[in-house]
Amino acid sequence: MTLLLLALMSCERPECARPAYHRAECRVQAENVLARVQTSEGVEIRFQEAKATSAESWSTTGLLRNQQDAPVFARVATLGDFRLSVETEEATTLRLTLDNVDPRIPALEGELESSGLRRELELELEPGVNWIVGELPEAVCSGSFRLAAAGDIQTNPLQFRQIIDALHTEASDSEAEGEPLLGLVLLGDISEFSQPEELTQVLDILASSPVPVAVIPGNHDVYASLDAVFNRMVGPGNLSFDVCSARVVLFDTGSGSLAPSIEGRLPELLKSEQPHLLAGMHHPPMPGNTSGGWSDELSAATLLAEFSQAGGELLLAAHVHERLEMLDGPVPQVVVGTLGADQVEVDPDYGYLRVSVREQVSWCFVPVSAAGSPGASRPPPVDCVERSAR
Amino acid sequence: MLPLLLCLSAQAHESEPGLKPYVVPPTEAAQLRKRLRWAGIAGMASAGLWYFAAGDSLGAGDPATLLAGAGLVATTGALIGGSYAVLDPREPAMGWEASGPPLRLTLSPGGSTTIGENVPYGGSLELAPRFILGPELQLIAQGTLRGDFGDRVDVDPRPQSDFAPALSRWGWGADVNPELRWYREGMDFRLRPTLLTRYTATTFADGSTRQLERQAWMPLTLGVRFYVSGRQRFGLYLGPRWDSLRWSDGGQWQEREVDFGPIYGQAFYSINRPHMRLPGGLVGASRLRISYEHSNFDGQAFDFGAVVGFFGPVTAQYDMQLRRPGWDNGVQVGLGVSGTKGGQVNLSIGWNTQPFGAVH
């Protein structure tokens, strides 16, 4: 019996054939499986890179799922442009709900209705490959732009709701200043216990965001072993995309390191023709004395080396429930775990980081105090720190 | 926690190589064990309070995590010591014991059950000759050379990738950590300046390569070890750490970046088992050592649930030294298990001898 058990344990099997979604590598598989879907009519829908011309493969730029008695649901995971391929053997009609779409993107083919970040489509499909293409108007990307970034909501989604409300002001002010806000990068720990109800609450809040939101997981979002709950409900945790003149590469470090396959693809993911390169993750690769570093320091060092080598300008992270700037490492790193997670303090330091992408990349912390709070205990920097582009 | 630990030293004794053996009355050992247990509980409780009530969440940082790890080791040690006292109450004098051997070879088994992947066997050669510099002063000239016996290979699990190899990696490294020990009544103090170096050669999915050199400098690591009884010890190390990183794609190396790193710390508890007679006329003396090391330099973090990246490795090591009666030398075999995400196991064999300068 013991020998039989030992023999079974030593049997070779494909990676993640026995699912364990607390492992980063199995989440890589899950997010790729969930970036394509086949309908009961045999229509194959796939998320693609924004500039893809072939539908042979697919990419983790979104989440797709069939819904009972409702259109197919597609959540765009990136900011700005996006693309889906829709392949069918026979002419047919497809109803699709597209979520997390920038409101500035002009009406899509087959669009029935548009509300906030959501579009309802009814597509008349021709046999072969059909494309759904969303592109920001050229005028939006003609100059500088802004992104907002922060992480760590955990047990305080209502504070996060206030921060989303504040983003409406940021969006209108930035538009007026000719530097449009193009999205929020949510740097993980959007839940405390990896529970679907917690994620639903945050997704409901995201529905009121004025701009699309790119979300990656933190350690609190991905420790359920048998359910890839984050990937199933929110989308991919590893993604790279271009938004106007910046390449943004986001990593799932919820397990304290990169998945080995993502580490192996770093040169590919970081390669870009864009003049700016930014990266976001939950765990800071340079933790200082916070005790909030990576489980595997080799993985962090590999990322730092590759990001620096690729000309990366700014690393964004969270995990530590405060804001820290570490500018002396191989690349500048800013930690903003300020979306509502407990900071113990009477006067917590909540808010988001405004990243301005001009000829140079610069950043400022924008405080959004808790209701009834006398104000952030640490004043925001008066001036943004200016960093040079590559 | 420190005042409680200092109490431990009140009736401590030693039986290290080159030092006099001795016996502790069991009642005194029980009292000291109790103090260790309460010190451990106080450490863990203080760390918890620091994290969740008195600090700024993760702003409590390395000191609180170290306190939690040391408290865990102290509490576990007291429990193990108590169990031993019940199951095996002998507390004999020991002329020699299982301890760090001057020469040791270690093997970490590899292998993978994932198709297309490979986890290589790893090994290390450790030299740690002990020099007696005076009646209370010893130097252990420690150094370790370690490496992988092959490439670690990871596949790309994406369905669209056909599970092709995504990452291939080979690494080796060296540790230089000489330790000066000053033996006092009931405790010893240690200075262990340390330099860890790791070289890693990586081949990425697109065929490009990268060489990385990582170093951790810990020149001011200080340690103290308390004697809970003649065969039980509890110790702590603490020191600042500086990290450096540089890389190359096969040509010129980048300039080295040096940054202030996480605080380094270690806590350990060890218990020696009395001599036992073995077949073939051999005598065996064994030691169980549990430790917590606050460092993820070698990627062996102790993660559980949402607690990811905070704790370094928690390790249990069992060593047995074998000698023939009257011999000054012995062979020491060991089995180590790290309670890490990978559950690392290692096997070791070492050679023990008298310290240089010992009176025979």
Contact A283 B62 (CB under 8 A): no
Does residue B260 sit at the A interface (CB-CB below 8 Å)?
Answer: yes
pLDDT in tens, A20-56: 999 999 999 999 999 999 999 999 999 999 999 999 9
Quick one: which of A340, A32, A22, A77 has its CA closest to A194? Answer: A22
Answer whether CATH 3.40.190.10 is correct for domain A139-387. no
pLDDT mean across residues, chain B: 87
pLDDT value of position A255? 95
Where are the domains positioned within chain A? 24-134, 139-387
pLDDT value of position B300? 81
pLDDT value of position B124? 97
Does residue B303 sit at the A interface (CB-CB below 8 Å)?
Answer: yes
Partner-chain residue, chosen from B155, B245, B262, that has the shortest CB–CB distance to A15: B155
Where are the domains positioned within chain B? 98-352
Q: In which residue are the tokens 């030693």 written?
A: B14
pLDDT band at A291 (very low <50, low <70, confident <90, very high): confident
Is residue B281 predicted with pLDDT exceeding 80? yes
- The whole-number average pLDDT for the span B274-295 is 89
Does residue B156 sit at the A interface (CB-CB below 8 Å)?
Answer: yes
pLDDT in tens, B349-358: 999 988 887 7
Residue in B296, B300, B311, B344 to test binding to A, most A beta-carbons within 10 Å? B296
pLDDT value of position B9? 35
Partner-chain residue, chosen from A33, A288, A306, that has the shortest CB–CB distance to B159: A33
Highest mean pLDDT among A345-349, B76-80, B123-127: B123-127
Looking at chain B, the whole-number percentage of residues with pLDDT higher than 90 is 56
Does residue B198 sit at the A interface (CB-CB below 8 Å)?
Answer: yes
Is residue B3 predicted with pLDDT exceeding 60? no
- Residue B68: its chain A contacts at CB < 8 A? none
Is residue B25 predicted with pLDDT exceeding 70? no
Contact B57 A343 (CB under 8 A): yes
Does residue B354 sit at the A interface (CB-CB below 8 Å)?
Answer: no
Domain A24-134: assigned CATH number: 2.60.420
Does residue B166 sit at the A interface (CB-CB below 8 Å)?
Answer: yes
Question: How many CB atoms lie under 10 A from the CB of residue A116?
Answer: 13
pLDDT in tens, B142-196: 999 999 999 999 999 999 988 899 999 999 999 999 999 999 877 899 999 999 9
- The whole-number average pLDDT for the span A343-362 is 89
The residue ranking higher by pLDDT, A338 or B9, is A338
pLDDT band at B4 (very low <50, low <70, confident <90, very high): very low
Q: What is the 3-state secondary structure (H, E, C) of chain B?
A: CHHHHHHHHHHCCCCCCCCCCCCCCHHHHHHHHHHHHHHHHHHHHHHHHHHHHHCCHHHHHHHHHHHHHHHHHHHHHHHHHHHHHHHCCCCCCCCCCCCCCCEEEEEECCCCCECCCECCCEEEEEECCEEEEECCEEEECCEEEEEECCCEEEECCCHHHCCCEEEEEEEEEEEECCEEEEEECCEEEEECCEEEEEEEEEECCCCCEEEEEEEEEECCCEEEEEEEECCEEEEEEEECCEEEEEEECCCCCCCCEEEECCCEEEEEEEEEEEEEEEHHHEEEEEEEEEEEEECCCCCCCCCECCECCCCCCEEEEEEEEEECCCCCCEEEEEEEEECCCCCCEEEEEEEECCCECCCC
Is residue B94 predicted with pLDDT exceeding 80? no
Q: Can you state the percent helix, strand and coil of chain A, rounding each to 5?
A: 20, 30, 50
Q: Distance, in angstroms, between A297 CA and closest chain B CA? A: 5
pLDDT value of position B1? 46
Q: Distance, in angstroms, between A112 CA and closest chain B CA? A: 33
pLDDT in tens, A206-261: 999 999 999 999 999 999 889 999 999 999 999 999 999 999 999 999 999 999 99
Contact A256 B249 (CB under 8 A): no
pLDDT band at B246 (very low <50, low <70, confident <90, very high): very high
Does residue B157 sit at the A interface (CB-CB below 8 Å)?
Answer: yes
The answer to ipTM > 0.90 is yes
* Residue B80 CA: distances (Å) to CA of B37, B66, B204, B288: 10, 21, 46, 10
Q: Distance, in angstroms, between B259 CA and closest chain A CA? A: 6
pLDDT band at A170 (very low <50, low <70, confident <90, very high): very high
Looking at chain A, the whole-number percentage of residues with pLDDT higher than 70 is 95
Does residue B107 sit at the A interface (CB-CB below 8 Å)?
Answer: no
- Residue B309: its chain A contacts at CB < 8 A? 219, 256, 283, 287, 292-295, 319
pLDDT in tens, A66-99: 999 899 999 999 999 999 999 999 999 999 999 9
pLDDT value of position A2? 63
Cβ contacts below 8 Å, chain A against chain B, sum to 200
pLDDT in tens, A98-141: 999 999 999 999 999 999 999 999 999 999 999 999 999 999 99
Partner-chain residue, chosen from A14, A265, A304, that has the shortest CB–CB distance to B166: A265
Partner-chain residue, chosen from A15, A192, A330, that has the shortest CB–CB distance to B114: A15
Q: Which CATH architecture has domain B98-352?
A: Beta Barrel (2.40)
Which of 66-105 (B) contact A at CB < 8 A?
A: none
Q: Distance, in angstroms, between A99 CA and closest chain B CA? A: 24
pLDDT value of position B162? 84
Is residue B11 predicted with pLDDT exceeding 60? no
Q: Distance, in angstroms, between B301 CA and closest chain A CA? A: 5
